[in-house]
């Protein structure tokens, strides 16, 4: 799981480009480099998103993209998940950053462009900007709504830092060179939260290679990765005793009902989270409690008793396996930090 956008289905790119006019959305004294700006690039429009959602439900196994978790109810439930005793990733990564921030910052270029991948509200970036002397913050997110929030918050907090946002979909190739070339400073790509785990290893390799292509000789990647650990710890993190994660998973059926005019009954499905040791991933499913037929728009989809809908994969890595992935992507000179139990890993990677 990863931090949610405030709206799970973005508006068409043409509408976003108009609505995100910085003169309309930001206030205050203009900075020397002008007001904060947002570039809209490769954002999937609503019709395409809904077509992909519908197609996934008719696959075998059926699939729902995790991006549909985050309506208002899903966002509230995700926030509650992050406070659960069982859900260790958020607080473990934060503890590593707090403990080793100085050592990590010394391995990053000073005065860099700080590129926050999947920035959300930007809050994870703010403790880093002063230690690394960042002069420019580039937020990258699929949600322009989050970018508005983060740019507004950042400009108020760091008046000497230039703020720019790029709305794009990580499933598309990264195309940030044009924006990065506006500054001669090297780039630090920041990708916390183990969001890389929501990609298959093959997809993760493509993304990491794309990041590598943006770094030149002096840039760096700072990334957080969830580690492999005992099955019971992993499964409890995604299937807590209070049932908050179950409610979060089941809520996506209500989203599907609204978006596609479907009639899923969440009471007829059960949440399941299992660790697949062969694939090295947690799998979240919604399992049909009985044989049933669901209307999806004008069509019907039959589910057998026990048939699963896949809602999320979350891949886990050892320090060694992720180091190998980074090297395959063209990185070298790796530095690694972890907690005492080695439950979570933080890497700084330089271009090889």
* CA dist., res. 71 & res. 73, Å (int): 6
State how many domains the chain has.
1
Q: Are 56 and 262 in contact (CB under 8 A)?
A: no
Question: Residue 343 sits in which domain range?
Answer: 1-352
* CA dist., res. 135 & res. 152, Å (int): 16
- Closest-CA residue to 320 (of 278, 283, 280, 274): 280
| % of residues, the chain, pLDDT over 90 | 77
Checking if the pLDDT of 104 tops 80, the result is yes
DSSP 95: H
What phi and psi values does residue 111 have, to the nearest 5 degrees? Answer: 65, 30
Average pLDDT over residues 230-249: 98
Q: Are 86 and 236 in contact (CB under 8 A)?
A: yes
Given pLDDT bands bounded at 50, 70 and 90, which one contains residue 43? Answer: low
The length of the chain, given as a count of residues: 352
* Signed CA dihedral, 179, 124, 237, 337: sign only: positive
Residue whose structure tokens are 């429009």: 45
pLDDT in tens, 178-228: 999 999 999 999 999 999 999 999 999 999 999 999 999 999 999 999 999
pLDDT in tens, 287-341: 999 999 999 999 999 999 999 999 999 999 999 999 999 999 999 999 999 999 9
What phi and psi values does residue 84 have, to the nearest 5 degrees? Answer: -75, 145
Beta carbons within 10 angstroms of residue 38's beta carbon: 24
* CA dist., res. 337 & res. 42, Å (int): 34
pLDDT of residue 144: 81
What is the domain-level CATH number for residue 84?
Answer: 3.40.50.150
What phi and psi values does residue 31 have, to the nearest 5 degrees? Answer: -80, 165
């Amino acid at each position: 799981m990863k931090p949610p956008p405030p709206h799970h289905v973005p508006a068409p790119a043409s509408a976003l480009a108009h609505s995100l006019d910085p003169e309309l959305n930001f206030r205050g004294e203009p900075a020397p480099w002008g007001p904060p700006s947002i570039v809209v690039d490769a954002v999937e429009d609503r019709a395409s998103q809904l077509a992909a959602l519908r197609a996934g439900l008719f696959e075998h196994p059926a699939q729902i993209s995790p991006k549909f978790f985050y309506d208002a109810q899903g966002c509230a439930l995700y926030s509650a998940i992050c406070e659960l005793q069982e859900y260790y990733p958020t607080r473990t990564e934060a503890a590593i950053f707090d403990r080793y921030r100085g050592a990590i910052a010394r391995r990053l270029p000073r005065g860099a462009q700080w590129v926050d991948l999947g920035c959300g509200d930007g809050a994870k970036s703010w403790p880093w900007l002063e230690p690394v002397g960042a002069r420019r913050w580039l937020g990258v997110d699929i949600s322009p709504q989050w970018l508005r929030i983060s740019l507004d918050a950042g400009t108020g907090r760091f008046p000497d830092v230039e703020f720019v946002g790029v709305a794009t979909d990580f499933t598309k190739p990264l195309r940030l060179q044009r924006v990065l070339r506006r500054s001669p400073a090297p780039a630090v790509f920041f990708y916390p939260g183990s969001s890389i785990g929501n990609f298959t290893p093959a997809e993760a390799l493509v993304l990491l290679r794309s990041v590598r292509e943006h770094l030149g000789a002096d840039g760096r990647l700072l990334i957080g990765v969830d580690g492999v650990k005992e099955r019971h710890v992993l499964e409890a993190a995604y299937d807590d005793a209070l049932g908050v994660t179950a409610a979060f998973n089941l809520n996506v059926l209500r989203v599907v009902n609204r978006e596609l005019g479907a009639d899923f009954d969440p009471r007829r499905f059960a949440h399941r989270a299992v660790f697949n040791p062969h694939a090295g991933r947690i799998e979240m499913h919604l399992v049909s409690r009985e044989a049933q037929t669901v209307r999806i728009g004008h069509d019907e989809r039959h589910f057998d008793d026990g048939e699963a809908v896949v809602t999320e994969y979350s891949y886990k890595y050892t320090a060694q396996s992720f180091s190998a992935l980074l090297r395959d992507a063209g990185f070298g000179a790796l530095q690694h930090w972890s907690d005492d139990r080695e439950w979570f890993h933080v890497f700084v990677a330089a271009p090889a």
